[in-house]
Amino acid sequence: MKKTILFLCSIIIIPILAYKIDWINYLLILLVLLSIVFLIIVGLISIFKSLKRKIFIVPLLIICICIVGVITSFFRPYDNPVINTENLSKNLEYAYKTDQNDRMQLRSFIGYFSKLKQRDSIRLKQVRSNYSQDKISIPIDKFHAGFVFHHSDNSKDYKIASELASEAASSEKLKDNYTVQWLQRASYDRYMLSIGKPEKYNTQNKFSIDLN
């Protein structure tokens, strides 16, 4: 009875957490993988030693619950990709944050569920408008805008991203900010590769969480 109640609680609570919290997806997948590894090990041991079938039940239940949680998270509504207020810095910071949050969600990398391309397009449209009107002047605003340009798909935007990131990185307030300094290098490398030239900082040919 207790096990049944625990299972029912888990099958309700886990999907709710996955629906509410972005990074839970990755934890659930890790649990699935660990459970699969456990089953493989137990399966190998069972070849040489008779084991009770009950030992397989717990990891199988964990796998089922985690999969339900992951699938549930795919149906969570996205936040608006941009906001339009009279505060330029607030708008750019929000666009930057949704840019990063979108890339923390597993569904953004699964074709059918992904809306990343459309949402990037909306962010780029807003930031391009601000840039074309010469509104972006504060270093932190340049960083936020540069990050959005950095996730475009053409050399022109990559060049703008590199210029904005370089200006932000050279400011006194942001000279020790790791992410700002990283963007300066990564955006330059991405621009160089897009025009057929070799990268300088070697940021584009290795895994990096910041590159998401």
Asked if the structure places residue 81 within a domain, the reply is no
Are both 115 and 155 inside the same structural domain?
A: yes
Is 212's pLDDT higher than 60? Answer: no
Are both 26 and 115 inside the same structural domain?
A: no
pLDDT of residue 37: 85
User: What is the average pLDDT across 147-164?
Assistant: 96
Burial of 86: CB neighbours in 10 Å, binned 0-12, 13-18, 19+: exposed
pTM of the model: 0.76
pLDDT of residue 31: 86
Length of the chain: 212
Burial of 110: CB neighbours in 10 Å, binned 0-12, 13-18, 19+: exposed
Is 39's pLDDT higher than 60? Answer: yes
Task: Give the HSE-up count for residue 163: Cα atoms under 13 Å, Cβ half-sphere.
Answer: 9
Tokens of 67: 């999969």
Backbone Cα Rg of the chain:
23
Are both 169 and 203 inside the same structural domain?
A: yes
Asked if the structure places residue 80 within a domain, the reply is no
Are both 96 and 128 inside the same structural domain?
A: yes
Residue that is last in its domain, among 46, 73, 100: 73
Are both 111 and 59 inside the same structural domain?
A: no
pLDDT band at 6 (very low <50, low <70, confident <90, very high): confident
Q: Is 134 left (phi over 0), alpha (psi -120 to 50) or beta?
A: left
Asked if the structure places residue 78 within a domain, the reply is no
Q: Which residues contact 163 (CB under 8 A, 6 or more apart)?
A: 146
Work out how many domains the chain is built from and give that number: 2
Is 208's pLDDT higher than 50? Answer: no
User: What is the average pLDDT across 129-156?
Assistant: 96
Backbone angles phi, psi at 88, to 5 degrees: -60, -45
Asked if the structure places residue 141 within a domain, the reply is yes
Task: Give the HSE-up count for residue 208: Cα atoms under 13 Å, Cβ half-sphere.
Answer: 12
Range of the domain at 132: 88-211
Q: How far apart are CA 3 and CA 22, in angstroms?
A: 28
Are both 116 and 197 inside the same structural domain?
A: yes
pLDDT of residue 106: 87
Is 172's pLDDT higher than 80? Answer: yes
Q: Where are the beta strands (DSSP E) in 41-184?
A: none
Q: How far apart are CA 98 and CA 93, in angstroms?
A: 9
Are both 113 and 69 inside the same structural domain?
A: no
Share of the chain above pLDDT 70, in %: 91
Are both 133 and 169 inside the same structural domain?
A: yes
Asked if the structure places residue 79 within a domain, the reply is no
Asked if the structure places residue 110 within a domain, the reply is yes
pLDDT band at 47 (very low <50, low <70, confident <90, very high): low
Is 63's pLDDT higher than 90? Answer: no
